[in-house]
Structure 1
Amino acid sequence: MRRTAVLGSAGTLLAGALIAGAVAAPSATADGRHHDNSAAYGAKIAAERAAKKGIAWQECPADWGIAKGIQCGWVSVPLDYTKPNGKQIKLAVDRIGNTGTAKERQGALIYNPGGPGGSGMAFPARVVNKNAIWASAAKAYDFVGFDPRGVGHSAPISCIDPQEYVKAPKLDPRPGSEADKRAQRKLAAEYADGCKERSGWMLPHMTTPNTARDLDVIRAGLGEKKLNYLGVSYGTYLGAVYGTLFPSHVRRMVVDSVVNPSKEKIWYQANLDQDVAFEGRFADWMTWVAKNDAVFHIGKTKAQVAAEYETLRAAAKKAPFGGVVGPNELDVLFQGAAYYDSSWVPTADVWSKFREGDTQALVDAAGPDLSNTAGNISAENGNAVYTAVECADAKWPTSWQKWDRDNTRLNRDYPFLTWGNAWLNLPCATWGVKQQTPVTVKTGKGLPPVLIAQSTRDAATPYAGAVELHKRFKGSRLITEQDAGSHGITNLVNPCINGKVEAYLLKGTLDRHDATCGPHATPVP
């Protein structure tokens, strides 16, 4: 799951085959709604329509910032799948053709990077940028990205003015009093109200099952009888729901860094589980910083580095650095190191420079990005979609006493992220829009073997999630990256993992048993 900052909180977290076994049209009510399998029927209608229409590919709009050689287009989907002939919204898609011969081509590979709220439109650039990890797959597949509903160019939603979202000073997510908690609760309720006010027409339909139906319509619009899919982080849950709803439509599916698909975890408990895992991965990074004290000069032991971080937070709370970097902004910056190994060196470098007197480096790294407020792609939009999907997918506790009790208990041992995560998700407690029951993820008729990749110390999506999906998708294979914790491992250099993913995508080959790979290279300062 991709996470961003919300007001007052520390942030964390990418040929028209029809539904198997033709679905008979259910009876309709006077308002045009269908009963029973109505959404499935609506998805069937929408996919048929997209298959017939196709996608009118053209050069991407200049202001989208997409590399030359990549084409863009639109796919129309119903806002409400129980009303397939009702209001339609347009989803932005892009693609680059396979680099091999026509004979080598195996179709389109569609990507979702997670979120909820992440755009997949950067995926085709892996081909333009000659990403060596994906060179062989690019010979066989068109690389296709899309903005999910509500994201970017696809009927974007909003909960607060983007400038205000970025510029507004955030409260320290760690409450020091009941008054601090009341202030955060007020902000969360105001945020939920803002979502309803600015985007209420979309909110009931911002669910993972609807995005999975959108994915099937995109598949049909591409002229593909079966889906080839790569999903990372929240994209794994989207893939799990798609595989459950459309099992016979899957050809190849790779899911990387897996959201636990258990109905009991989506989404309240999943976020509590994150708090524990982030504490462990942040400790891994601090241990590494201490090991490289000759370079960074922050502390010679993990305990010293941890104490220095608390000192830094306290100073930022007393007087925000540059007037804009307080404890919340520090937590968001340093959380990057708990997410991705690629952030280990840059984050330690910025901290080291600050200790040597360079405050500007820290302000530049952690301060508000005022360029991230223009157009449809913005931090505010990403956070709005994150909130809307997680709040709509499942029922959340409405009792503040439960939130307070659970997070107070966790915070005693896992203080790095716990309260910040709570404030980020608290709008779901006062959402005011109907919340659904999560899909029961399971193997359906025709689902082929799915390839699952997961590191053991992933913070955003703890390892147990991969094990759970592996149990639910019969015949799947799990690749475990041992003693590693980066989030999203299929795009890292690890020949053991890269080779297995490539063999699966190109030949459908899977190991006879689950596999364990050693860790990718540890960052070197």
Structure 2
Amino acid sequence: MRAAALYSAAGALLLAGLTAVPADGAPDAAGPRRAVAERYGTAVAAARAAAAGISFGRCPDAEDLPGSMVCGTVEVPLDYTRPYGEQIELAVSRVEATRRDPHHSERKVPRQGALVFNPGGPGGSGRYFPLIGLMPGWKRIAGAYDLVGYDPRGVGRSAPLSCQDPGHFFKGPSMAPAHPSETYKRERVARAKAYARGCAERNGAALRHHHSLNNARDLDVLRAALGEDRLTFMGASYGTYFGAVYATLFPSHVRRMVFDAPVDPDPGRVWYRNNLAQSAAFEGRWADFREWIARHHDTYGLGRTSAAVLRSYERARARLAEEPAGGKVGPGQLQGAFLQAGYYDDYWPHRARALSDYLRGDPRQLIAQAGPVTRVAAEAENASAVYTAVECNDAPWPTDWRVWDRDATRLARVAPFETWDNVWTNLPCAFWSAPRQRPLDVRTGPGELPPTLILAAERDAAAPYEGALELHRRLAGSVLVTERDAGTHGIAGGPNGCVNGYFETYLLEGRLPGRHAACAGHPEPEPSGGK
């Protein structure tokens, strides 16, 4: 997520920002030399990709896909200091621009090139993104752009990472104490150490090359392979971070960029402090959800106040701790399902119905919504491995467990919903053996970068709104569009017509509002079913 020519004044900043940092956080003296080599390696790889292009053809899983989507691969160096060394293949998918105006079927529209998308994660696959052009709200964009998705390095079909046997990935039922005991903490520390060790043992020296700087370099090689002189890119969530890294490293290669649900790119917050901020924000979104349930007590019967709804939730947690639903769903699975509702409010009616039914003696909806889906265990394990590798490699982390324990204990007093689960997700980074990067100082000056569009929901918990403000401050010429009083994580192409108007106008015409713009929040979901 994070310059002008290498030999300009900005070049010195670039060299400093790319300095590698070992696991103990001390700067690597070879960093500046490495940065020059990586810059050269990226140019070599991009030139090679431009000459080779991408041979698109039938997708490997074509029986499940519409025939309009085609697939191919592009080679990138595993290590950009060795562009002629080991290569890995990135899986790429595309649906060509329809060249049709959905409002005037007989009218042809000009093709504007490729729109490349990344859904975030780290660890998210974008291979199925091109199919979004089938949705009514995307047809104008699909008319003008080839829609391009891909699996970033380590993800899916792109030299996938793994840190443990996928057969052991879904461990359930599990507990999720909001205020864990010392015994439970020791158990989770041991598991984090074992997971970090598994990542190192299963991936070897390749593990160190999975980080946001290389994701940005890969994006430039993909741009070249697609035959695009300048990139049109849309990133969501984590995709905004390495998109901003790309904009900082390759500003002259940018045509248009959309940053949807931005994470905070401040180098001092990547990633430890960002995760603390995320846990605090989820507490507010969990309160929003409870208040919505309380307003619909006549439908769900879970309480007429937020506090009463919380008591219903805690009653379910206690019951599941004693007897997991269907032998699969314990407090950990319940918490995971309700965490999803913190990302997307269209989950609210379904989660509320499942909780209501369970407390009245019918666990079927809860098992269906919260139970582990074992058929996707390999995919989920891979996404977890890439998430861990990228976040751990991207920046220094505290290596003393006491720091994590102190910070989480304090935060959990006021934000118990997500704090400790977030700790357990990221704790392998405390015991990571691969070298760390020093986060790039994402920043562009006036005129360095074409105008870019930032979209953010004011109450987004996964990417707190302060991150959008910070990204806007750092990217000169960017414009921020805010969805007020809403918290969905990622708002482009969603239910808000005002947001979509700005989004379409920018991608199709290159026009932005002259200053910050605000849209009223989209309507809250309607409750489903009766008591």
Give the alignment's TM-score, normalised by structure 2: 0.90
**Where do residues 114-133 of structure 1 align in structure 2 (5 Å cutoff)?**
114-127=120-133, 130-133=134-137
Q: Kindly report structure 1 stretches of 4+ aligned residues shifted beyond 4 Å.
A: 19-24, 33-36
Distance 2:461 2:360 in 1: 30
Any unmatched runs of 5+ in structure 2?
Answer: 16-31, 101-107
> Which residue identity does 1:401 align to in structure 2?
R
Alignment-derived partner of residue 71 in structure 2: 72
Q: Which moved more, 1:176-185 or 1:138-147?
A: 176-185
Distance 1:80 1:171 in 2: 40
**2:158 matches 1:166:** no
> Which residue identity does 1:188 align to in structure 2?
A
Q: Which moved more, 1:355-364 or 1:169-178?
A: 169-178
Q: 1:167 to 1:412 in 2, by over 3 A?
A: closer
- Answer yes or no: is the 8 Å Cα contact 2:208–2:434 preserved in 1: yes
Provide the identity percentage.
Answer: 50
Alignment-derived partner of residue 351 in structure 1: 355
Distance 2:306 2:72 in 1: 50
- Answer yes or no: is the 8 Å Cα contact 2:172–2:333 preserved in 1: no
Residues 25-83 of structure 1: CA distance to partner in whole angstroms, max 9, x if unpaired?
x9xxxxxx964511111100000000000000001013784332100000000000011
- Answer yes or no: is the 8 Å Cα contact 1:112–1:119 preserved in 2: yes
SS where residue 193 of structure 2 aligns? helix
> Which residue identity does 2:401 align to in structure 1?
W
Distance 1:123 1:522 in 2: 26
Q: 1:73 to 1:519 in 2, by over 3 A?
A: same
- Answer yes or no: is the 8 Å Cα contact 1:226–1:251 preserved in 2: yes
Alignment-derived partner of residue 440 in structure 2: 439
Alignment-derived partner of residue 50 in structure 1: 49
**Where do residues 266-281 of structure 1 align in structure 2 (5 Å cutoff)?**
266-281=270-285
Q: 1:363 to 1:96 in 2, by over 3 A?
A: same
**Where do residues 389-404 of structure 1 align in structure 2 (5 Å cutoff)?**
389-404=390-405
**2:293 matches 1:289:** yes
Instruction: Report the Cα offset of residue 109 of structure 1.
Output: 0.2
SS where residue 129 of structure 2 aligns? coil
**Where do residues 258-273 of structure 1 align in structure 2 (5 Å cutoff)?**
258-273=262-277
- Answer yes or no: is the 8 Å Cα contact 1:339–1:458 preserved in 2: yes
> Which residue identity does 2:236 align to in structure 1?
V
Number of residue pairs aligned between Structure 1 and Structure 2: 498
SS where residue 58 of structure 1 aligns? coil
Distance 2:440 2:298 in 1: 51
**2:419 matches 1:421:** no
Residues 136-170 of structure 1: CA distance to partner in whole angstroms, max 9, x if unpaired?
11111000000000000000000111111024543
**2:303 matches 1:304:** no
**Where do residues 439-478 of structure 1 align in structure 2 (5 Å cutoff)?**
439-443=440-444, 446-478=448-480
Give the alignment's TM-score, normalised by structure 1: 0.91
Residues 450-498 of structure 1: CA distance to partner in whole angstroms, max 9, x if unpaired?
1000011000000000000000001100001100011011131211110
Equivalent position to 1:112, from 97, 101, 118: 118
**Where do residues 177-192 of structure 1 align in structure 2 (5 Å cutoff)?**
177-192=181-196
Alignment-derived partner of residue 501 in structure 1: 503
**Where do residues 83-232 of structure 1 align in structure 2 (5 Å cutoff)?**
83-100=82-99, 104-127=110-133, 130-167=134-171, 169-232=173-236
Instruction: Report the Cα offset of residue 182 of structure 1.
Output: 0.3
Distance 1:261 1:273 in 2: 13
Q: Which moved more, 1:361-370 or 1:181-190?
A: 361-370
Instruction: Report the Cα offset of residue 345 of structure 1.
Output: 1.1
> Which residue identity does 2:200 align to in structure 1?
K
Q: 1:303 to 1:175 in 2, by over 3 A?
A: closer
Instruction: Report the Cα offset of residue 373 of structure 1.
Output: 2.6
Residues 169-197 of structure 1: CA distance to partner in whole angstroms, max 9, x if unpaired?
43434344211110110011111111111
**2:256 matches 1:252:** yes
> Which residue identity does 2:162 align to in structure 1?
S
- Answer yes or no: is the 8 Å Cα contact 2:449–2:477 preserved in 1: no
> Which residue identity does 1:473 align to in structure 2?
L
Residues 89-148 of structure 1: CA distance to partner in whole angstroms, max 9, x if unpaired?
000000000011686100000000010000011211112xx2122111111100000000
SS where residue 88 of structure 2 aligns? strand
Structure holding more helix per residue? 2
Instruction: Report the Cα offset of residue 315 of structure 1.
Output: 1.4
Alignment-derived partner of residue 483 in structure 1: 485
> Which residue identity does 2:313 align to in structure 1?
Y
Distance 1:302 1:282 in 2: 10
